[in-house]
Structure 1
Amino acid sequence: MDTDATVHKILSGYDTITVVGASNAPAKPAHYVPEHMQQRGWRIVPVNPRGGIILGETAYATLADAPPPGLVNLFRPSGHTPDFARQAVATGASALWLQLHIESEEARRIAEEAGLLYVENRCLLVEQRRLGLDAPRF
């Protein structure tokens, strides 16, 4: 499946986004991207080791602590993504999305070998706007 088809399948097939590296700092993409998606109807499940509340939602310290994810969205450096890809697989995720400027051949291999949909180096906000999609209603 080509990347554009995968992007469309993910944005039209998941109503919840588990955001690893979510931030409370409004100027950071890890805050304003999930905030935008939340405003378009997606439920955001923030994952941040500091915990607390992010975008009005309880932030979980680890991916393993969060409710079982479908779509995992990573805002972590490329070098950290293989470990998060393994965690996504272990928690039963079915899609892994690495944000803009985040790429990893190893994370791709881990995700694809486990059958996850995989996108890297793309921004959820940009792709949502490009496709004009809102969160699916199931």
Structure 2
Amino acid sequence: MVTTDDAELTAALEAETIAVVGCSATPGKAAHGVPKYLQEHGYRIVPVNPTTDEVLGEPAYDSLSDVEETVDLVDVFRPSAEVSSIVDETLDREDVDTVWLQLGIRDGEAGERVTDSGRRFIQDKCLKVEHQRLA
């Protein structure tokens, strides 16, 4: 089941380390601005982008499976068609509590797999907007 309840969204915002899949090094893009905002508000950002070495002063990883540090939340800035494979990588990890798909990104089947594993799944919501609204 997709998380829509404010209490569950607030619980997701208690994450400390956020892996941002599709994090952009290009200022002006949402995939850059949202992680920058989150970093400025105390979150540890782990960029996942195979086309760059660094984003927001942090080393970028080629894939979620390459990230060795503990991740609490995976924030996805990739097309809906790529969500299933990102969820596969997420479900291989024991540390991730929440998968968050940004505005316009949806995948109900992947969401069922995430929630069936006992984790939160949020789709079609902006992490920055929800942080501003609830934090």
Q: Is the 8 A contact 1:63 1:91 kept in 2?
A: no
Cα offsets for 1:80-103 (capped at 9, x unmatched): 101111111102222100001111
1:14 equivalent in structure 2: 15
1:78 equivalent in structure 2: 80
- C-alpha distance in structure 1 between counterparts of 2:5 and 2:92, whole Å: 24
- C-alpha distance in structure 1 between counterparts of 2:16 and 2:38, whole Å: 10
1:65 equivalent in structure 2: 66
TM-score scaled by length of structure 1: 0.90
Superposed CA RMSD in Å reads 1.2
Q: Determine what percentage of the aligned residue pairs are the same residue.
A: 39
2:90 equivalent in structure 1: 88
1:1-138 to structure 2, matched below 5 A, reads 2-11=4-13, 13-66=14-67, 67-92=69-94, 93-131=96-134, 133=135
Cα offsets for 1:95-128 (capped at 9, x unmatched): 1000011111111011011111111100011011
The 4+ residue runs of structure 1 with deviation greater than 3 A are none
Task: For structure 2, list consecutive stretches of 5 or more residues without a partner in the other structure.
Answer: none
AA partner of residue 105 (structure 2): I
Q: Is the 8 A contact 1:44 1:57 kept in 2?
A: yes
- C-alpha distance in structure 2 between counterparts of 1:51 and 1:3, whole Å: 35
Q: Is the 8 A contact 1:86 1:110 kept in 2?
A: no
1:136 equivalent in structure 2: none
Q: Is the 8 A contact 2:25 2:52 kept in 1?
A: no
SS in 2 for 1:45: strand
Alpha-carbon distance, 1:4 to partner: 2.0
Alpha-carbon distance, 1:50 to partner: 1.9
Alpha-carbon distance, 1:5 to partner: 2.1
Aligned residues: 131
Cα offsets for 1:25-52 (capped at 9, x unmatched): 1111110000000001101000001241
- C-alpha distance in structure 1 between counterparts of 2:29 and 2:5, whole Å: 25
Q: Is the 8 A contact 2:25 2:56 kept in 1?
A: yes
AA partner of residue 115 (structure 2): E
